[in-house]
Amino acid sequence: MQIECTCVRCASSYAIWYDTLTQILRHNRLHERKLTAMNWAPTILRIRDISIKMHVTFLLLLAFEAWIWSTHGITGIAFGISLTVLLFTCVILHELGHALVARALGIPVREILLLPIGGIAYLTKTPKTPRDELLIAIAGPLVNVVIALALLPFVGVAATFVNFPGPESAPSLNLLLTGLYSANVMLVLFNLFPAFPLDGGRILRAGLAMIMSERTATTYATVIGQGVAVVIGTIAVMSGQIFLAVTALFIFFSAGSERGETRARTLLDTRRVGDAYNRKALTLSPADRTSHVVDMILTSYQPDFAVMQGNAILGIVTRAHVLEALSTEPVDQYVAAIMNREFVRVPYTMTLDEVRMTISAASDDVAAVFNGKDYLGLVSLVDIDEALAVIDYVDRNKSLHQTA
């Protein structure tokens, strides 16, 4: 995505826009799971078992860059494509900085997804200590610092971070290097703003969490982040920079979302999944038909079913499986043909937050709960959301009674 600023493109708006949206998408779990579930992002590279995928819409950005630089002929088209590819190589390296440090700290990384707005590194779980969050957050900007320092000897001391090239300039190697240098410097500076969801906000939260609780640290960090967003938004409106104003709006609401997510994580960590799974769930046998499952869904409102053989679970059938089967195969199939045999398994001692992260990391919606080898029941993301609502209600009421 290119951000236009009157007659020349503004490097700061460009860098801020795609980096902010990248951070927002990374922490929007629902959007993450939808994006990674698509088959529109083939793997283009693997680094240490981390899949780097490129969404097909990235090709639209390449086409756009080729078009705006086409005024300089074939040379301009090649320049526009090369600049975009190299810029997003820097984005990949930024995300790899986060990912490799996370892996070194025992946090698996599923993949890095390349989008027209930037890159997203998918961590399978949240850092458990402030130190871990600090190291992971700072790793990305440090990569951009290294890249900028490596480019500095080639662009000269006269280079500035606002000198991002536009099609009004003649393509050249120096212009290419200057553009990359400018973008990396701007990414570092803006990324270190103490505002969620930017890395600077996470660095601030990690520092505060070393001297206070994570929940209190998040509250302070998000309030500061929203204050920064208000200042940025005010400056953007006064200077007529609409895209920067929209970015400030995203930062403001994302900070509030982070506060809610941290509260949810704190509350869900107080309950085990063994206290929340459905003990009275209806089950299926492998010989049941899809028509029988439809009847059970309509009469019980239960969306997920364990397929059992005696006391052993063979698989899981969800409402989505049934709808897919009905849309692709008109015959009344056996449940055994449509069930998911590779389902998520979790021990009953896991906290609800750990189960939520485990299910999300598997891009699934439901998990089977076990006590050792004994199957207990199913728990879904919907169940966890409902449990969160109840726990939150009880917690708020308790707080009100204590202050009354």
Q: Map out the domains of the chain with their CATH numbers.
A: 11-192 (no CATH), 273-390 (3.10.580.10)
- What distance in Å separates the CA atoms of residue 203 and residue 190, rounded to the nearest whole number? 13
pLDDT, position 347: 94
217 neighbors 205 (Cβ within 8 angstroms): yes
Q: Which of 126, 146, 144 is nearest to 136 (CA)?
A: 126
| Cα dihedral 202, 205, 211, 217 sign | negative
380 neighbors 281 (Cβ within 8 angstroms): no
| Three-state SS letters, the chain | CCCCCCCCCCHHHHHHHHHHHHHHHHCCHHHHHHHHHCCCCCEEEEECCEEEEECCCHHHHHHHHHHHCHHHHHHHHHHHHHHHHHHHHHHHHHHHHHHHHHHHCCCCEEEEEEECCEEEEEECCCCCCHHHHHHHHHHHHHHHHHHHHHHHHHHCCCCCCCCCCCCCCCCCHHHHHHHHHHHHHHHHHHHCCCCCCCHHHHHHHHHHHCCCCHHHHHHHHHHHHHHHHHHHHHHHHHHCCHHHHHHHHHHHHHHHHHHHHHHHHHHHCCCEHHHCCCCCCCEECCCCEHHHHHHHHHHHCCCEEEEEECCEEEEEEEHHHHHHHHHHCCCCCEHHHHCECCCEEEECCCEHHHHHHHHHHCCCCEEEEEECCEEEEEEEHHHHHHHHHHHHHHHHHHHHHHHC
Q: Which of 144, 128, 262, 119 is nearest to 200 (CA)?
A: 144
Encode the chain (404 residues) as per-residue pLDDT tens digits. Answer: 222 332 323 333 444 444 444 444 444 444 444 444 445 777 777 887 788 888 787 788 788 888 888 888 898 889 888 888 888 888 889 989 999 999 899 888 878 887 766 677 777 777 888 999 999 999 999 999 999 999 888 886 555 555 666 777 788 888 888 888 988 888 888 888 888 778 888 899 999 989 988 888 888 888 888 888 888 889 888 888 777 787 788 788 877 887 787 888 888 888 899 888 888 889 999 999 988 999 898 888 888 999 999 889 999 999 888 888 888 877 888 888 899 999 999 999 999 988 988 888 787 889 999 999 999 999 998 888 888 888 888 877 776 666 65
- What distance in Å separates the CA atoms of residue 66 and residue 83, rounded to the nearest whole number? 10
Single-letter code of the amino acid located at 102: A
- Structure pTM? 0.69
- What distance in Å separates the CA atoms of residue 44 and residue 381, rounded to the nearest whole number? 31
Strand order in the sheet with 312-318: 283-284, 304-309, 312-318
221 neighbors 207 (Cβ within 8 angstroms): no
Q: Which two tokens stand for residue 126?
A: 């949240």
Which backbone phi and psi does 376 adopt, to 5 degrees? -105, -45
- What distance in Å separates the CA atoms of residue 60 and residue 1, rounded to the nearest whole number? 9
- What distance in Å separates the CA atoms of residue 244 and residue 205, rounded to the nearest whole number? 24
CB atoms under 10 Å from CB of 332, counted, come to 12
Single-letter code of the amino acid located at 345: R
Single-letter code of the amino acid located at 279: R
- What distance in Å separates the CA atoms of residue 399 and residue 344, rounded to the nearest whole number? 36
Strand 312-318 with 344-347, pairing: unpaired
pLDDT, position 163: 63
